[in-house]
Amino acid sequence: MTQENKNLVTNYPSAKYSWLKSGGKISNLYKIHNQIDLINLFSNNDIKAKSLLVIGNLSNTLIKDEGFNGTGIKLIGDFTNIQINSDHMLVGAAVLDNYLSKFCYQKGISGYEFLYTIPGSIGGNIFMNAGCYNQEIKDKLISVIYFDINKNKIFEKEIAKLEFDYRKGFQKKNKIILYGKFKITHNEPIYIKNLMQEYERIRNQTQPKKVNCCGSIFKNPKNQTAWKLIKLSIDDGFYNGPIKLSKKHSNFFENEPNISAKSIELFISKIQKRVKDKYKIELEKELRIID
Ligand SMILES: Cc1cc2nc3c(=O)[nH]c(=O)nc-3n(C[C@H](O)[C@H](O)[C@H](O)COP(=O)(O)OP(=O)(O)OC[C@H]3O[C@@H](n4cnc5c(N)ncnc54)[C@H](O)[C@@H]3O)c2cc1C
């Protein structure tokens, strides 16, 4: 058995692992432990030629029912490590937000408290420029270290040279985010802990808990709040049934599991139509839909 085959999972059921509990299968998902795995895998031109999908913690992704038939990548192993250096932290793309936040608290590093309440991974955060409570991942980053599958090589780019914007991070074709280099600022652990708890309190107060969702379905339009526009545009029917919005937060789903991706997409377009008809505003999806 080749190294490549050992790392291959066929027909990976995204619905089982995604936060939405919906979505098609990934026909070939390669688990990548380290840089050698990556270089070996992408030395194969057939694999390189197919379309690429990197998955993180699947908290913002829905794969269409037909499934994804290109090259799927899941980083594990070396990419779950955090290394503290004199002037920065090197954080693997597979590190989960909540884990990084708790790790920073233990080390007296402040600035990562907001990640305590986001269920993604650092790779997903850097791709999305994730954020909450007036902070975004770009504010904390020094640089992004990524693998270019066409050049079969690793590169590093400073954040100042990347045009991150609201929910638009490192969204580059055929590139895999491997690590983020992050700033370090120290503070008292009690300050850090209080902030983490405060963010958790706000989150619990304003958003549904333990539901099948993807966080915010839509981005906030400029100077507007998506949930308010939705709430004022829809009727009660949108809060009932197997695919439904949360009464607590109208930009969140509270779906039943194993709903087809097609029906979720249809539901999304119905919401977009209602908001467009009433406010002439086009809601843009934050959720990534993959085909
Ligand atoms: C309950 C809940 C609350 C949420 N709250 C927030 C919030 O407050 N703020 C916020 O910004 N988001 C929020 N989200 C959305 C989500 O957690 C973020 O978008 C997060 O950054 C996604 O990370 P992930 O690892 O789950 O990415 P995935 O969903 O797995 O992937 C998202 C995108 O990133 C790409 N990607 C992932 N890893 C890599 C990589 N290593 N290299 C290249 N591309 C990659 C994927 O291809 C995909 O296009 C929430 C989601 C849920 C379910």
Domain with CATH 3.90.78.10 in the chain: 208-290
* pLDDT tier for residue 5 given thresholds of 50, 70 and 90: low
Instruction: Check if the beta carbon of residue 113 is closer than 8 Å to that of residue 134.
Output: no
54 lines ligand 1 (CB under 6 A): yes
* pLDDT tier for residue 6 given thresholds of 50, 70 and 90: confident
What residue owns the CA closest to ligand 1's atom 39? 123
Domain 208-290's class?
alpha beta
Average pLDDT score, the chain: 97
| In the predicted structure, residue 223 carries a pLDDT above the cut 90 | yes
What residue owns the CA closest to ligand 1's atom 47? 54
Domain with CATH 3.30.43.10 in the chain: 3-77
| In the predicted structure, residue 189 carries a pLDDT above the cut 80 | yes
Residue 226: the pLDDT is: 98
118 lines ligand 1 (CB under 6 A): yes
176 lines ligand 1 (CB under 6 A): yes
Contacts of 284 (CB under 8 A, 6+ apart): 218, 219, 221
Q: What is the pLDDT of residues 83-98, one digit of tens each?
A: 999 999 999 999 999 9
Domain 81-192's class?
alpha beta
Question: What is the b/e burial string over 259-278, where b = at least 16 CB atoms within 10 angstroms of the residue's CB?
Answer: bbbeebbebbeebbebbeee
| In the predicted structure, residue 220 carries a pLDDT above the cut 60 | yes
- Residue 161 CA to residue 156 CA, distance in Å, equals 11
> Mind giving me the DSSP string for 86-109?
SS-EEEETT-BHHHHHHHHHHHTE
Q: What is the pLDDT of residues 120-160, one digit of tens each?
A: 999 999 999 999 999 999 999 999 999 999 999 999 999 99
CB atoms within 10 A of CB 187: 15
Domain 3-77's class?
alpha beta
pTM: 0.97
Q: What is the pLDDT of residues 237-259, one digit of tens each?
A: 999 999 999 999 999 999 999 99
* pLDDT tier for residue 2 given thresholds of 50, 70 and 90: very low
Angle at 45 between CA 40 and CA 46, to 5 degrees: 110
252 lines ligand 1 (CB under 6 A): no
Residue 183: the pLDDT is: 98
| In the predicted structure, residue 105 carries a pLDDT above the cut 90 | yes
What is the atom index within ligand 1 of the atom nearest the CA of 79?
A: 41
Active site residues: 167, 216, 286
What is the atom index within ligand 1 of the atom nearest the CA of 119?
A: 17
Domain with CATH 3.30.465.10 in the chain: 81-192
What residue owns the CA closest to ligand 1's atom 32? 124
62 lines ligand 1 (CB under 6 A): no
Residue to mutate, 55, 76, 99, 214, ligand 1, most ligand atoms under 8 Å from C-beta: 55
Q: Where are the alpha helices (DSSP H) in 166-220?
A: 189-206
